[in-house]
Chain A
């Protein structure tokens, strides 16, 4: 009865409960780490078997048959979650303060793994809710307003999915994916589900997965939730949990792809519903990147940035061609890896300096060299500098978008990657370079487990950057068809090639040449930061020599027309209206005097009487 999948899914949950029970500093870290390590071990073990066939595991719970299956596709997603999970566990060892955080972090870990592996809607919905609830509890601890905003939005998404599941259950009578897929496929001819209903289903599922992935109109919760939770958990939160939303969209394609195509046809040669997802992704990329550039708080910046990056994945899936899927899946891995790394770096910074605003940080490069190196790798990867994984996946998405004749969407990616470059350099400048504020002088390097966590996330960045073939070859197997050609180091698509190894070698050669020219000149003399040219004025230590506050003021001025509208304020107003409506409803109905109550009874009797006569 105990087989691999059950251990894989429920090991973190059990470990979490144990860690919460034995709330002793040393023990709970060990249990938590083991809990996070088990899935990695099992996934590694099952890698060979998954390529050929799938491992199944079913349990009947409360009359529902929950089916869990490990195929090549969801092995990929589970592996991404596992990598980020192990890094989170290492990060949590040094940043978590109580068993509470371990419990809910590992519970959300179980939720994500369960979501990726489940093959029927009830199991999917159960673990989806569990994941949402666990991540909500992580944020509730620190900030009520942000966590409630996050929970309300994701619960609306979950209940929209619940409604969708119920409608599907009503129409097809089945709950597991295989039969639903079969039924929907046959439904093309019968036409039991009308055009309106399939549109409703599409919208419901899109809202559910859009909220979790942080698509444009529903991205409002992300900055608050990501910045309020314990930072090393946020690496998992934004690295793996947002992938659940993206996996959902993939699921949408698998289950209802044919049906939606039959219902809505094509628009300019693209699948209409896919075109909608592509444009949602594009808008998310542009809006989130613009907002990320203008942020003053390090956590908010990375929150918006991860919303933007998930927008890339949505866009890639929206393109609809197989290359688009390949690009999207690769970006799932690279985003999880470099965003997880960014969040661990933020965790290290906040742990050591206690500051979160850019204006009180600076000049940390000497004090925290290893964290800085990891931050630099993450910067190169996110902004898409060729030898890194970020570039390979972004390159695939470009190829797919332009090849599928979606020019404006590709234009959005260009703008998005430019903005990504801008806010990443802003992070570098404000935190690492420039003059160090006096109170940061005794900052030490981050603790060892956090550093190991960062190293774990940095290696794939470089490894899959130099050899992107490893990932694309696996994706080809997952899809079963040869989407991206070329060997381990060279990606060949029908219209373009990218030899990652050669680019790296030539870059190293170029650096060598430049280094030679550099070494030839006079030996350099290190000078303090106060020895800078301020048009001759003598510069002393307590001059503020670095621009850390509103670094991109001109951009804010150029965009002030657009910045007036904010979805956040819009949602707050709606929540306010709803609450006031609720209050007026209560006052009007339960107004406390018996006469009106007895009137209500009379009215009901009247209805009954009329009912009888009609």
Chain B
């Protein structure tokens, strides 16, 4: 299964010459969050949607489908089991996609620095655009992070997805090193008994 998955790398992207500035403005003003809350930060996101902070003002809408979403929030410690799901969902998202990690755990393992079950450095496996420090940053910090993402999109620097495509081998090597070769097939078979 894993080798078939690489064709999204070889597929050449669509370059909109004429409407690029318009699309960039639209991408900035309408970020859809893929509702994939890992770790303890998931509970931090709903306050953003409430009346006090209301990220919908900026056109941000939580959207459960990865195909439509473009902002991927990693909101807490990432275990290898969850990382597999994150990688698969990330690859399903369509291209100008951005990753934002909350809290210190994805950055450097944080509190679980010595645990066998927590990924120490998220950035090795998936490209990260914005990282927000703090052991679960407050909503204001998250809003600031979102502002940061918007500024990066505006200036064109939010190129996490480009980095993932360019050096996909490196990322793939790290992933296979952690999970072992052809881990998608093995994982699928493992859960077959449960379905």
A touches B (Cβ under 8 A): yes
Known: A537-B85, A540-B1. A525 touches B184 (CB 8 A): no
**Chain B residues, Cβ within 8 Å of A609:** none
Q: How far is the CA of A533 from the CA of B1 in the complex (A)?
A: 15
> Using Cβ atoms and an 8 Å threshold, which residues of chain B touch A535?
85
| Chain B residues whose CB sits within 8 angstroms of the CB of A536 once the complex forms | 36, 84-86, 88-89
Interchain CB contact (< 8 A) of A540 among B13, B92, B189: B189
B187, A531: Cβ atoms closer than 8 Å: no
Is B192 part of the contact surface with A, judged by Cβ < 8 Å?
yes
Chain B positions within 8 Å of A613 at CB level: none
Over the window 1-21 of chain B, the binary record of Cβ atoms lying under 8 Å from chain A Cβ atoms (1 yes, 0 no) is 100110110010110000000
B75–chain A nearest beta-carbon distance, Å: 15
Asked whether any CB of chain A lies closer than 8 Å to the CB of B49, the reply is: no
**A interface residues, how many (CB within 8 angstroms):** 17
B116 contacts partner chain A, Cβ-Cβ < 8 Å: no
Q: Which residues of A contact B1 (CB under 8 A)?
A: 530, 538, 540
Nearest A residue to B12 by beta-carbon distance? A523
Q: In the complex, are the beta carbons of B13 and A522 less than 8 A apart?
A: yes
* Contact across chains for B188 and A543 when beta carbons are under 8 A apart: yes
Chain A facing B: main interface SS: loop
Chain A: which residue is nearest B187 at the CB level?
Answer: A538
Does B66 have its Cβ within 8 Å of any Cβ on chain A? Answer: yes
A477 CB, min distance to chain B CBs, angstroms: 56
Does A538 contact B88, Cβ atoms closer than 8 Å? yes
A528 within 8 A of B: yes
By the criterion CB–CB under 8 Å, are B188 and A525 in contact?
Answer: no
Answer whether residue A439 sits at the interface, using C-beta atoms and an 8 A cutoff.
Answer: no
Interface assignment of B22: CB less than 8 Å from any CB of chain A: no
Asked if B185 and A540 sit within 8 Å, CB to CB, the answer is yes
Residues of B within 8 A of A528 (CB): 4
> Interface 1/0s, chain B 77-93, versus A by CB < 8 A?
00000001110110010
Q: Are the C-beta atoms of B89 and A533 separated by less than 8 Å?
A: yes
Q: Give Cα A535–Cα B66 distance, bound, in whole angstroms.
A: 9
- CB contact list, A224-262 vs B, under 8 A: none
By beta carbon, the residue of chain B nearest A521 is B14
Determine whether the beta carbon of B192 is less than 8 Å from that of A523.
no
**Given the interface contacts A536-B86, A537-B85, A540-B1, does A523 sit within 8 Å of B14 by beta carbon?**
yes
Interface string of A23-43 (1 = CB under 8 A from B): 000000000000000000000
Complex interface bits, B41-71 against A, C-beta within 8 A gives 1, otherwise 0: 0000000000000000000000001110000
Q: A531 vs B2: C-alpha distance in the bound complex, in angstroms? A: 11
Instruction: Write out, one digit per residue, whether chain A residues 154-181 have a CB within 8 A of any chain B CB (1) or not (0).
Output: 0000000000000000000000000000
How far is B189's CA from A530's CA once the two chains are assembled, in angstroms?
13
Contacts of B4 in A (CB 8 A): 528
**CB 8 Å contact bits of B149-193 with A (1 = contact, 0 = none):** 000000000000000000000000000000000001101110110
A530-B1, A533-B66 are known contacts. Are A538 and B184 too (CB-CB below 8 A)? yes
Interfacial chain B residues near A44, Cβ < 8 Å: none
Task: Find chain A residues with CB under 8 A from B67 CB.
Answer: 533
Taking CB atoms, residues of chain B closer than 8 Å to A531 are 5, 92
Contact A540 B188 (CB under 8 A): yes
Most-contacted residue by chain A among B13, B36, B187, B191 (CB, 10 A)? B191
Whether A543 and B14, one on each chain, are in contact in the complex, defined by CB atoms closer than 8 angstroms, is no
- When chains A and B are docked, how far (Å) is the Cα of A525 from the Cα of B91? 14
Which A residues are CB-close (under 8 A) to B8?
A: 525
Q: Which residues of A contact B89 (CB under 8 A)?
A: 533, 536
Contacts of A538 in B (CB 8 A): 1, 84, 88, 184-185, 187-188
A522-B14 contact, Cβ under 8 Å, with A537-B85, A538-B1: yes
Measured between alpha carbons, how far is A536 from B37 in the docked complex, in Å?
A: 12
Task: Tell me the residues in window 493-536 of chain A with beta carbons closer than 8 Å to chain B beta carbons.
Answer: 521-523, 525, 528, 530-531, 533, 535-536
By CB atoms of chain A within 10 A, which of B5, B88, B92, B187 has the most? B88
- Which of B65, B85, B192 is within 8 Å of A542, CB to CB? B192
A41 to B76, CA, bound (A): 78
Q: Which residues does chain B contribute within 8 Å of A523, judged by CB atoms?
A: 14
**Is B86 a contact partner of A537 (Cβ separation < 8 A)?**
no
Compute how far the CA of A438 lies from the CA of B171 in the bound complex, rounded to whole angstroms: 34
Closest to B82 in A: A536
Measured between alpha carbons, how far is A522 from B11 in the docked complex, in Å?
A: 11
- Please report the C-alpha to C-alpha distance between residue A478 and residue B66 in the assembled complex, in whole angstroms: 60
Closest Cβ neighbor of B95 among chain A residues: A522
| Alpha-carbon distance between A535 and B82 when the two chains are bound, in angstroms | 11
- Asked if A539 is an interface residue, CB under 8 A from chain B, the answer is yes
**A residues in contact with B192, CB < 8 Å:** 540, 542-543
Shortest A153–chain B CB gap in Å is 46
Task: List the A side residues contacting B66 at CB < 8 Å.
Answer: 533
B191 touches A537 (CB 8 A): yes
Chain A residue contacts of B88, Cβ below 8 A: 536-538
Question: Could you show 14 A-B contacts with beta carbons less than 8 Å apart?
Answer: A522-B14, A525-B7, A528-B4, A531-B5, A533-B65, A533-B66, A533-B67, A537-B88, A537-B191, A538-B84, A538-B185, A540-B188, A540-B192, A544-B195
A-B pairs with the 6 shortest C-beta distances? Answer: A536-B85, A522-B14, A540-B188, A538-B184, A538-B188, A536-B89
Q: Give me the interface of A with B, judged by CB distance under 8 Å.
A: 521-523, 525, 528, 530-531, 533, 535-540, 542-544
Interface residues of B (CB under 8 A from A): 1, 4-5, 7-8, 11, 13-14, 36, 65-67, 84-86, 88-89, 92, 184-185, 187-189, 191-192, 195
Given A533-B67, A537-B88, A537-B191, 10 more contacts at CB 8 Å? A522-B14, A525-B11, A535-B85, A536-B84, A537-B188, A538-B187, A538-B188, A543-B188, A543-B192, A544-B195
